[in-house]
Structure 1
Amino acid sequence: MKKIVTLLCVVIIAYPLYVMSSVYLYSFESADAKADAAIVLGAAVWGGDPSPVFEERIKHSIKLHRESQVSTLIFTGGVGDGDTQSEAAVARAYAINQGIPADQILIEDKSTITRENLIFAKELLSLHQIETVLLVSDPLHMKRAMTMAEDIGLDALPSPTTTSRYKSFSSKAKMLLSESYYFIGYQLGKLTR
């Protein structure tokens, strides 16, 4: 019995450490490839403007478009509590204001979580015959987002933002812990689906 308890304790400690290291190491993965579109995962909107985290994602997608890595931008995200506009609509307006043609932007504005961002974006891909995508989010969010994308059958490559609101050791550590927690929860959730 003692051996089983010891083994269980090792697993309970080792698995989260493994996940944290894999989330951290994956944050450096970035595809330098062309794709049909960039899917930009939604984030908070503050008073009709993108939050700093969301703004970095939008800026990154605009850069991909300007460098001809993608021809279409897909912004995701619904209307948050207390907001009047969807995350996707705010991102679209921001991109248009930065010179991206409106006809090269698609939005899905129903989602509230990452998995929904991807599922609803996949519907747009099918509707517009878009095959390959770069997935845009924060570096520490990429492992979970890419795992979800693969699970729903998206032909996606990672394209994390090159800048982030999470700059200090403290903020990066909190984000790493949060993402590791949600990644483990997502993996455990798959066992019950």
Structure 2
Amino acid sequence: MEKEKLIQILWDYLHMNHRLEKSDCIVVLGSHDTRVAVRGAEVFLEGFAPLIVFSGGYGKLTKHIWNSTEAEKFARIAINMGVPEDFILIEDKSSNTGENILFVKDLIDIRQIKAEKLIVVNKPYMERRTYAAFKKLWPETEVLVTSPQMGIKEYLAGYGSGEITEDEVINVMVGDLQRIKLYPEKGFQVHQDIPKEVWDAYLKLVEMGYTKHLC
């Protein structure tokens, strides 16, 4: 029970809880989690922006489980949901969040597309780190972040079988929290205050052995 409480504390902190507004473009960051593609398509179909960009080549996990890039796989999901191909752009070379941002920025600049306000879609536990990275690497743009709309129990239940386990996701969450603390000094993202309760929960999870994705 203590573990569930600690994970919930991290989960709540890692969410930004942004309210979506009309924007210039939706940027969907690739990963192993196809629910992110579904959320990106939902946001487009709800009319929040006229263009959607899928970003992602092969990541640490997907290079072992997929034979197409993350961006291509996500775009196919969106097209099957009714997003017209003419309103989709693909960036399929990036392999981490920093590259996602910089390569999409280059693509937007080359196409001379207005991008004063973005909606960025990622995994739920990556909302805060995504926001912090965008504000560092693309500071002139207003950023709203969103993710699949579900609680921690429902989200983790999606990893009950397959290549990626529930414990693996918890390890990644713990690693992401550590990166929120360390990455500003490396110039990768802007500073984010971490409440003591959140950091204490992180330390306890590390003590429990969730260390596989620590820097």
In the superposition, the TM-score normalised over structure 1's length comes to 0.73
1:84 aligns with 2:67: yes
Q: CA deviation at 1:73?
A: 1.1
Q: CA deviation at 1:181?
A: 1.7
AA matched with 1:136: V
Aligned to 2:156: 166
In 2, Cα distance between equivalents of 1:175 and 1:27: 15
In 2, Cα distance between equivalents of 1:147 and 1:113: 14
| Of 115, 130, 139, the match for 2:114 | 130
In 1, Cα distance between equivalents of 2:110 and 2:11: 32
Equivalence map 1:85-124=2 (5 Å): 85-124=68-107
Q: CA deviation at 1:180?
A: 0.6
- Count of residues paired in the alignment: 162
Moved over 6 A (4+): 20-23
- Contact 1:38–1:70 (8 Å) recurs in 2: yes
AA matched with 1:185: L
Aligned to 1:146: 131
Which moves more between the two structures, 155-164 or 91-100? 155-164
Equivalence map 1:24-63=2 (5 Å): 24-44=12-32, 53=33, 55-63=34-42
AA matched with 2:182: G
Q: CA deviation at 1:140?
A: 1.6
Aligned to 1:183: 180
Percent identical pairs in the alignment equals 22
Aligned to 1:72: 51
- Contact 1:30–1:160 (8 Å) recurs in 2: no
- Contact 1:76–1:121 (8 Å) recurs in 2: yes
- Contact 1:35–1:70 (8 Å) recurs in 2: yes
1:149-188 deviation digits (Å, cap 9, x = unpaired): 01112331112221363359x7575443121122233223
In the superposition, the TM-score normalised over structure 2's length comes to 0.66
Which has the higher Rg, Structure 1 or Structure 2? 1
Q: Could you say if the C-alpha distance between residues 23 and 91 of structure 1 is closer, same or farther in structure 2, counting changes exceeding 3 Å?
A: same
Q: CA deviation at 1:28?
A: 4.5
In 2, Cα distance between equivalents of 1:117 and 1:23: 23
1:107-131 deviation digits (Å, cap 9, x = unpaired): 1011000111111111122233131
AA matched with 1:96: I
- Contact 1:24–1:176 (8 Å) recurs in 2: no
In 2, Cα distance between equivalents of 1:130 and 1:21: 37
- Contact 1:23–1:179 (8 Å) recurs in 2: no
In 2, Cα distance between equivalents of 1:67 and 1:135: 15
Q: Structure 1: which 5+ residue stretches go unaligned? A: 1-19, 45-52
